[in-house]
Chains A and B, each alone.
Chain A
Amino acid sequence: MAATASTLSLPVSRREKGEEERQLVRLAQSGEEAAFEELIRRHQQRVFGLVSGILRRREDVEDVVQQVFLKVFVSLKRFDQRAAFSTWLYKISVNECWDYLRKKKVRPLVYEADLSEEQVSRLDGVVSADQPPASSSDRAEARDLLERMMEKLPEQDRELLVLKEVEGFSVQELAEILDLNVNTVKVRLFRARARLMDVYRRRLHSKPAGPAEGKEG
């Protein structure tokens, strides 16, 4: 009985949430600034995650997120609510990121020094046995290593992995945001994880990094 109640309550609460959001959008469209501010509060973290998943530089991210909400505010009256507000917002965010990268001609972060076998082997525990680093300094180092390995991936793979695995976007959401088929997103994600593991293994089984290998990637 409890299971029935919970199964019933979940869609209802989602529907109510969706209706509440549509109401907020309508109010914001009629010029209610408080309603728009509430929409920002509800979505700011995901937009932040989405933009930082693509841009990565914190100072760029904040500026671009502000620009996204400004654009949304300006074009809100043209939004007909046929799609979910969040999908529309995320699409604007992605386009804004690409525009920003194109205008600024931002180059991806490049680490001059490549990873040594010793450094990569510190991630062994994480990869083989799901043992996250214990201390905060180890965690910070592991995150830095992961970031540097991610830099070796193609931009599209890196974006998908970060948005899915780190920022928590679903496959469905990613397909809508990036205008891709759901199956395409699944295949790309699956391959992207495999490529990440390729990078990990290459570093792990390579000789100490030399200048020639430093250019690889």
Chain B
Amino acid sequence: MSMNAENRNAETSYAACPQYEAALEDQFEGELRGPEAVQLAEHLKSCAGCRAALEDAAAGARLLAIAEPSPDPGAGFSRIVMARIRQQLQTNEGKSIWRPVVSVAWRFAASAAFALVMLVSFDLGRQSQWRSDQSIVAENRVPEIAPDRPSLPANRDEVILMMADTSHGKQ
């Protein structure tokens, strides 16, 4: 580790020049070319902070190299995912946007059917009650005591006869 880096160790401060940070990253990755590379090389000659930062980047990368990337989830993973997708699609089919409407419609139909049954049974009950009332009335009907109402006289003779008949009791 260089002297500059050692000095920085004590302070633990970051000393790279902000305007060169992107170029330093490119330089670290080995991707800096052309005039930018020349310019950075010139700058590095005179800037201890940037040199130390570049050394830090390399040391940090070495440290990170001991980490292992995530393992491959395996050949069966895609099958598991596809199974989950199919399952989800089936569940979604059951949960179509019309389902609440259909549910309400079924409830409405059931209520209407129930109301209809109630109405019909009430009507039938009323009708049978009326019939039984009628039969009772018919059975208990008393023959009329009063004579039939006399019909109107058709001609003069009948009027005279009627008058003679009605005044008969008085004389």
A196 and B64 contacting across the interface, CB-CB below 8 Å: yes
Residue B82 contacts which of A40, A161, A166 (CB distance < 8 angstroms)?
A40
Q: Does A187 interact with chain B (Cβ within 8 Å)?
A: yes
Q: Give 13 new A-B contacts, CB below 8 A, not counting A36-B82, A41-B78, A61-B70.
A: A37-B79, A37-B81, A52-B70, A65-B73, A65-B77, A70-B88, A126-B62, A168-B69, A186-B22, A190-B22, A193-B60, A197-B59, A200-B63
What are 21 inter-chain pairs, A to B, with CB distance below 8 A?
A33-B82, A36-B82, A37-B82, A40-B82, A66-B80, A66-B84, A69-B81, A142-B66, A143-B67, A167-B69, A171-B25, A186-B21, A186-B26, A187-B22, A190-B16, A190-B53, A193-B60, A193-B61, A194-B14, A197-B60, A198-B12
Are A190 and B24 interface neighbours, CB within 8 A? yes
Q: B67's contact among A45, A166, A193, by CB below 8 Å, is which?
A: A166
Give, as a whole number of angstroms, the nearest-CB distance from B165 to chain A. 105
Q: Which B residue's beta carbon lies closest to that of A149?
A: B63
Report the Cα distance A160→B104, complex, angstroms: 52
Chain A positions within 8 Å of B, measured between CB atoms, are 33, 36-37, 40-41, 44-45, 48-49, 52-53, 61-62, 65-66, 69-70, 73, 123, 126-128, 130, 132-133, 139, 142-143, 146-147, 149, 161-162, 165-168, 171, 183, 186-187, 189-198, 200-202, 205
Residue in B14, B26, B29, B78 whose CB lies within 8 Å of A40: B78
Q: How far is the CA of A41 from the CA of B139 in the complex (A)?
A: 93
Chain B residue numbers with a CB within 8 Å of A167 are: 69-70
Q: In the complex the two chains form, what is the Cα distance from A133 to B68 in whole Å?
A: 13
Contact with A along B148-161 (1 / 0, CB 8 A): 00000000000000
The contact of A70 among B16, B61, B66, B81, by CB within 8 Å, is B81
Alpha-carbon distance A187/B23, docked complex (angstroms): 9
Q: A61-B70, A133-B66, A165-B67 are in contact. Are A70 and B53 (CB under 8 A)?
A: no
Is B144 part of the contact surface with A, judged by Cβ < 8 Å?
A: no
Taking the complex as formed, is B38 at the interface, i.e. its CB lies under 8 A from any CB of chain A? Answer: no
Interface residue? B113 (CB, 8 A): no
Nearest chain B CB to A141's CB is how many angstroms away?
A: 10
Asked, given contacts A48-B70, A194-B57, whether A146 binds B25 with beta carbons under 8 Å apart, the answer is: no
Q: With a CB–CB cut-off of 8 A, which chain A residues contact B21?
A: 186-187, 190-191
Closest Cβ of chain B: how far from A62's Cβ, in Å? 7
User: Could you tell me the distance between the alpha carbons of A202 and B12 in the complex, rounded to whole angstroms?
Assistant: 7
Is A201 in contact with B69, judged by CB distance below 8 angstroms? Answer: no
- Indicate which residue in B16, B28, B56, B85 contacts A69 across the interface (CB closer than 8 Å): B85
CB pair B9 A205 closer than 8 Å:
yes
Whether the Cβ atoms of A123 and B63 lie closer than 8 Å is: yes
A33 and B84 CA atoms in complex are apart in Å by: 13
**Contact assessment for A190 and B67 in the assembled complex, using a CB-CB cutoff below 8 Å:** no
